[in-house]
Amino acid sequence: MQKIKMPVPLVEMDGDEMTRIIWDMIKQDLILPYIDLNTEYYDLGLKYRDETNDQVTYDAANAIKKYGVGVKCATITPNAQRVEEYGLKEMYKSPNGTIRAILDGTVFRAPIVVDGISPSVKTWKKPITIARHAYGDVYRNTEYRVPANTKFEMIFTTDGKETRLPVFEYEGGGVAQGMYNTDKSISSFARSCFNYAIDTRQDLWFATKDTISKIYDHTFKDIFQEIFDEEYKEKFDELGIEYFYTLIDDAVARVIRSEGGYIWACKNYDGDVMSDMVATAFGSLAMMTSVLVSPDGNYEYEAAHGTVTRHYYKHLDGEETSTNSMATIFAWSGALRKRGEMDQNDALVKFADALDKASIRTIEEGVMTKDLALLWEKGNKKVVNTHGFIKEVATRLDQELKEIM
Ligand SMILES: NC(=O)c1ccc[n+]([C@@H]2O[C@H](COP(=O)([O-])OP(=O)(O)OC[C@H]3O[C@@H](n4cnc5c(N)ncnc54)[C@H](O)[C@@H]3O)[C@@H](O)[C@H]2O)c1
């Protein structure tokens, strides 16, 4: 087979620890034999971030804006212990946070579903994608431990004019918090969700507590509805997909009774909580994919899990590891597919589909890493090590590509 050409590059962001090891294996065994890989490479490994005073992270994010598509390996977010371990000049911010701030996006997380590992919720047959609004609300609050005999008021100063709103009068002590969001951020969250629903041809659900929060949550509901009616309704009708709004408590009940197969857009706190519930119920963090979609149509693909530190230290000690590379493989296939779609490069899209299919087939044929072996429900299984799994996928990828190319 002739190698597939890629005239336009995608942004490749290398990372840390065990996922950096997997990154190279995936490239060597699953990508480079088939594709004339064209990437603009940024090393987001902690050592190089430190050497460049984190400039490399900013450069990578700006490159995604230029080329439209990026694929990122998991990276260490330094804490005090990492500052010591790597002798860092400072405690750099989370690379994902920096990239998100530059691209202004929404993160969509979806599980990879395989036959033989059932979700804990028996009705779920298809993946549920969580879209979490990652701006404001309780994550940017101002809190106060209130002493007794205190009057709580909110003051807004608009062009020098004050508006005062009474909140509560405390006799004993208590707690208080102020939080905010902006029309701009809510609108870009809405557009990212509608665009992603169109892209993946799935229904979009959104829920807030607008009956109780008649201004704050209701504004989310209104902005979503206005943008949907004005900009997206026609396209949704054309594709036969639906935008569905309900109350958050009703949404939770419906999600549990559903078959899956839709995007669930959540406010910041709801998304934080519900994405952990959905990930756990679908089985394993190692099977969660993640994509950051910006409102102006840039995409950054990655695995939802971290750098798997425990396995890395075993690897450094020369011990065998059995790290699951599925989510990182899907990050690569996601980015290659998107590159292909943007450039009308059909061969690249077909390759990405074949890579997904080969990876899922590997597990469905009973070949898996240790983390999945515990969840496997279908008879015989072969538990393989980190590289063993990728080689098993490569064998099946060869077969898939022979059939279609
Ligand atoms: N997106 C990112 O870049 C990202 C996300 C989370 C954590 N991190 C970083 O990763 C490092 C480790 O963090 P952590 O231990 O909290 O998270 P982690 O996701 O690396 O590991 C959490 C747990 O899940 C298991 N696990 C995760 N992925 C696995 C896989 N592919 N195969 C098998 N088991 C897997 C691990 O063994 C561990 O028990 C930290 O330095 C953190 O800053 C990065």
172-212 pLDDT tens trace: 999 999 999 999 999 999 999 999 999 999 999 999 999 99
In a domain, 395, yes or no: yes
Q: How far apart are CA 238 and CA 197, in angstroms?
A: 13
Ligand 1 atom having least distance to the Cα of 94: 43
User: pTM of the entire structure?
Assistant: 0.90
Q: DSSP 3-state assignment of 375?
A: coil
Average pLDDT over residues 60-80: 97
The CB of 331 under 6 Å from ligand 1? The reply is no
Tens digits of per-residue pLDDT, 204-257? 999 999 999 999 999 999 999 999 999 999 999 999 999 999 999 999 999 999
Strands 39-43 and 174-178: unpaired
Average the pLDDT over 100-121 and give the result. Answer: 90
- Residue/partner pairs of 395-399 with CB below 8 Å, 24 or more apart: 396/358, 396/359, 396/361, 396/362, 396/365, 397/30, 397/34, 397/354, 397/355, 397/358, 399/358
The dihedral over CA atoms of 145, 151, 152, 158, expressed in degrees to the nearest 10, equals: -140
For 201, the domain range is 118-136+182-282
What is the C-alpha to C-alpha distance for residues 138 and 191, in angstroms, rounded to an integer? 22
pLDDT tens digits for range 318-349: 999 999 999 999 999 999 999 999 999 999 99
> For residue 291, is it within any domain?
no
300 CB within 6 A, ligand 1: no
Cα 136 to ligand 1 centre (Å): 25
- The response to whether residue 286 sits with its C-beta less than 6 Å from ligand 1 reads yes
Binding site membership of 385 for ligand 1 (Cβ less than 6 Å): no
> Are 129 and 277 contained in the same domain?
yes
Q: Alpha-carbon distance 354 to 202, whole Å?
A: 21
The CATH number of residue 103's host domain is 3.40.718.10
Q: Which residue's alpha carbon is at the smallest distance from atom 42 of ligand 1? A: 76
Q: What SS3 state is found at 329?
A: helix
**Mean pLDDT, residues 349-365:** 98
Total domain count, the chain: 3
Do 210 and 245 lie in one domain? The reply is yes
Residue 16 phi, psi (nearest 5): -125, 160
Residue 392 domain-assigned (yes or no): yes
Sheet arrangement for strand 299-303: 39-43, 10-14, 69-72, 299-303, 288-293, 106-111, 128-132, 262-266, 203-208, 243-247
Separation between Cα atoms, residue 34 and residue 364, nearest integer Å: 24
List pLDDT tens digits, range 262-290: 999 999 999 988 988 898 898 788 999 99
Answer for the pair 13, 42: CB distance below 8 angstroms, yes or no.
yes
What's 148's DSSP letter? S
**214 and 173 both lie in a single domain:** no
